[in-house]
Amino acid sequence: MKTLTIFLLFLFLPFGSFAFASNSKILVFGDSLSAAYNIPTEKGWVTLLQNKLVEQKFTTSITNASISGETSSGGLVRFQSQLDKTMPDIVILELGANDGLRGYDLSTTHQNLLKMVNMSHQKGAKVLLAGVHMPPNYGRTYTQKFDRIFTELAKMEKVKLIPFILEGVATNQDLMLRDGLHPNEKGQQVIVETVSDYLMPMLQPLHQ
């Protein structure tokens, strides 16, 4: 009788009721912008994103391998091990800001990010590339060259791009820490909405 009841329940539920049955895995790989810098981890946008997905009935697990101060070169060194360990369906790649702030060679930043995108694809993972901008005091020429790293890479490798992960945050002092570089707890709430807008279309096909 119990088996029959379960069968009938399945039979009469609307098609798609089990759309979120499959588990998917997301790897967030970034720097302090994703590592909840100087705020409680549970207030960071990655944890907020996990909570949001749970609320929306996505059986999705998120691994946050972000490290404050990380550069694209440092990230590249440890990226393969993170891919092998987590076997993600989607990689949210948020690196490059520290390269720019430290005046590193931009061609190296581009190559490092390109390698990580290709490594993700080789593992069968989709990539959501998170772009960042340099402060205007770095000069127009440099900031434009830095922005092109992300736009050109997204176009060349056909990956989805968040043009600026701090959109609506970086220019609002109420959403930033006193250092003017990192978002505060309120800013994290804006970031999670920005990220989820780009992530959801990538995530939903994995749960159908």
Residue 189 belongs to a domain = yes
From the candidates 84, 105, 174, 179, give the one annotated as an active-site residue: 179
Supply the pLDDT for residue 3: 38
The residues, ordered by sequence, that sit 6+ positions from 65 with a Cβ below 8 Å of its Cβ are: 27, 28, 29, 78, 82, 86
* CATH code for the domain in which residue 54 is found: 3.40.50.1110
Percent of the chain with pLDDT over 70: 88
- pLDDT higher for 103 or 20? 103
Does 21 score more than 90 pLDDT?
no
Q: How far is CA 33 from CA 6, 68, 127, in A?
A: 46, 8, 18
From the candidates 24, 31, 66, 182, give the one annotated as an active-site residue: 182
- Domain of 165 in residue numbering reads as 21-207
Residue 130 belongs to a domain = yes
Residue 147 belongs to a domain = yes
From the candidates 32, 34, 66, 72, give the one annotated as an active-site residue: 32
Supply the pLDDT for residue 208: 60
Instruction: Label residues 43-78 b or e (16+ Cβ within 10 Å = b).
Output: ebbbbbbbebbeeeebebebbbbbbeebbbebbbee
Residue 54 belongs to a domain = yes
Of 84, 94, 104, the closest CA to residue 165 belongs to 94
For 120-126, what is the mean pLDDT?
98
Residue 10 belongs to a domain = no
Residue 6 belongs to a domain = no
The pTM of this model reads: 0.88
Q: Which of 18-27, 102-111, 173-182 has the lowest mean pLDDT?
A: 18-27
- Is residue 99 annotated as a catalytic residue, yes or no? no
Residue 3 belongs to a domain = no
- Is residue 196 annotated as a catalytic residue, yes or no? no
Supply the pLDDT for residue 8: 33
Domain count, the chain: 1
Supply the pLDDT for residue 85: 97
Does 139 score more than 80 pLDDT?
yes
Does 95 score more than 50 pLDDT?
yes
Supply the pLDDT for residue 4: 35
- Is residue 179 annotated as a catalytic residue, yes or no? yes
Residue 168 belongs to a domain = yes
